[in-house]
Structure 1
Amino acid sequence: MDAAGGSELFESYEQDYEAIKVSVHERLNASGSQTGEIKKQTMRAIDREIDEANELLQQMEMELLNLPQGSRTRLQTRLRGYKADLDRLKQTFKRAQSTSRSTSDRDELLGGASGGLDLDAASMDQRTRLLNGTDRLAESSRRLQDSHKIALETESLGAGILTDLRGQREQIIHSRNTLLEADSNIDKASRTLKGMARRMATNKLITASIIAVLVFLILFVLYSKLFS
């Protein structure tokens, strides 16, 4: 999901937003020389694109929730810039709309006979906007499903890691207990060996004493026989 510390999906939203922004600027520039129904269609197209841009910013904001803190902080700054940029576009569009309405009112006064055609065009435009809204809703639902799937995969991975860590902790505790038990056994063996060494030294001393007494007795007996 991450790409160079960011999000491929977030960058895709950014590219879509930049494309829409360029299109809005082009339409706004073109609307200055347009009149009548063509200008109305341009204004409606700009309105749709601004709605799409606003939805893209909302998707960017949702995508930030799935990113680590470091990437999220950096991308939030870019997102704030996009929001400020979109607000300026909306203000420019409102001014263009105000100018367009004034021109439209004047045209309606001068050309009331074209009212039926305008109503048909408005109905078609409304239907087109409805279809576009449905498409955008489906796309948003798909992106939400993708985000939910990624969240579930991340949760499953985290659970697996926690299970592994728990198993490793139990192994470490078991190893520590084994070492403590071995250390205790070593201490017991050391004490036993020291006791055996003391007993051996005592036995040697007793043996030497007995031998010395026997030698003394033998010498005493020999001396007694020789000089008796």
Structure 2
Amino acid sequence: MDPTPTSLFESYEQDFRHIIHGISDKLQDGGKNQIGEQRKAALRKVELELDEADDVVSQLEVEIQGIPNSVKAPYATRLKQAKADLSKYKKLSKDLQFQATRSDLLGGYRADSSRSDDPYGENSDRTRLLAGTETLNDGSRRIQDSTGIALETEAQGADILRSLRGQREQIENSRSMLNTADIHIDRASGTLKGMLYQMKKQRFILSGIGIFFVVLILTILYFKLSR
């Protein structure tokens, strides 16, 4: 498998589309056509798969940071579409959960409506309405809890992205510093080479001067001794 940012993005996107397709099938077949416990079971599976799809979208957000800007635009559009699809199916799932709860309440009300005329009895309208209200409140609390978890997960994902972005900037700054150090080292190396050349040149000149004086002294001594 090619470990490039675009190939990883496309792989996660393919996983996301597979999950979304399964969610769509469950919402169409189980969420709308089934009733009772079968419908509830199907909607619970949808919730789990929506959480999985949310994790994949977070991974897509991580991978798109490593895609070069020259080719990032179409992938950003695909990421935006994935987020829109995820939001659409989350809303559809919540709507179907509400409809299922309401259907169960109304079904219970019809089944028990002719059992008692006592307004304060166990099966009275008032008792059933209170029970129904409590069930709706419980469903609302669950939805709020799920929303809170989703928001917390999104915030954690954003923190991770910011951390990764900061680490990337640190790596780029370190790379820039290394390049600058290489330039200075090259300059220093050139300066040292120039100094060594000058030292050799001066040594050669001094050696020539020394030889000249030795020859001069020997010549003077020769003329003096020859007289």
Q: Shorter-chain-normalised TM-score: which range?
A: 0.5 to 0.7
State, as a whole percentage, how many aligned pairs show the same letter: 9
Q: CA deviation at 1:139?
A: 2.0
Q: Deviations over 1:150-184 (max 9, x none)?
A: 33333333343333333322221111112223344
The answer (yes or no) to whether the contact 1:61–1:79 under 8 Å persists in 2 is yes
Is 1:174 matched up with 2:188?
Answer: yes
| TM value normalised by structure 1 | 0.52
| 2:28 alignment counterpart | 28
Change (3 A) 1:28 1:49: farther
Q: CA deviation at 1:86?
A: 5.7
Change (3 A) 1:38 1:143: same
Distance between the aligned counterparts of 1:53 and 1:132, measured in 2? Answer: 14
The answer (yes or no) to whether the contact 1:6–1:67 under 8 Å persists in 2 is yes
The count of residues paired between Structure 1 and Structure 2 equals: 198
Q: Deviations over 1:105-146 (max 9, x none)?
A: xx79x9595654543332121111111112222322332333
What RMSD, in angstroms, separates the aligned Cα atoms of the two structures?
5.5
Which aligned pairs between 1:50-69 and structure 2 lie closer than 5 A?
A: 59=58, 62-64=61-63, 66-69=65-68
Distance between the aligned counterparts of 2:78 and 2:13, measured in 1? Answer: 12
| 1:126 alignment counterpart | 140
| 2:175 alignment counterpart | 161
Change (3 A) 1:69 1:21: same
Q: CA deviation at 1:191?
A: 6.9
| 2:82 alignment counterpart | 82
More moved, 53-62 vs 124-133: 53-62
Distance between the aligned counterparts of 2:129 and 2:58, measured in 1? Answer: 39
Which aligned pairs between 1:1-228 and structure 2 lie closer than 5 A?
A: 4-6=3-5, 15=15, 18-34=18-34, 59=58, 62-64=61-63, 66-69=65-68, 73=72, 75-76=75-76, 78-79=78-79, 82=82, 111=110, 115-185=129-199
Q: Which structure carries more relative contact order (alpha carbon 8 Å, separation 6+)?
A: 1
Q: Structure 2: where are the runs of 5+ without partners?
A: 114-124
Distance between the aligned counterparts of 2:134 and 2:44, measured in 1? Answer: 17
Change (3 A) 1:80 1:150: closer
The answer (yes or no) to whether the contact 2:61–2:79 under 8 Å persists in 1 is no
Change (3 A) 1:126 1:43: farther
Distance between the aligned counterparts of 1:84 and 1:130, measured in 2? Answer: 20
Code of the residue aligned with 2:178 in structure 1: it is: D
Tell me, what secondary structure is at the counterpart of 2:178?
helix
Change (3 A) 1:145 1:70: same
Change (3 A) 1:59 1:23: same
| TM value normalised by structure 2 | 0.53
Change (3 A) 1:26 1:65: closer
Q: Structure 1: where are the runs of 5+ without partners?
A: 211-228
Code of the residue aligned with 2:82 in structure 1: it is: Y
Greater C-alpha radius of gyration: 1
Distance between the aligned counterparts of 1:136 and 1:142, measured in 2? Answer: 10
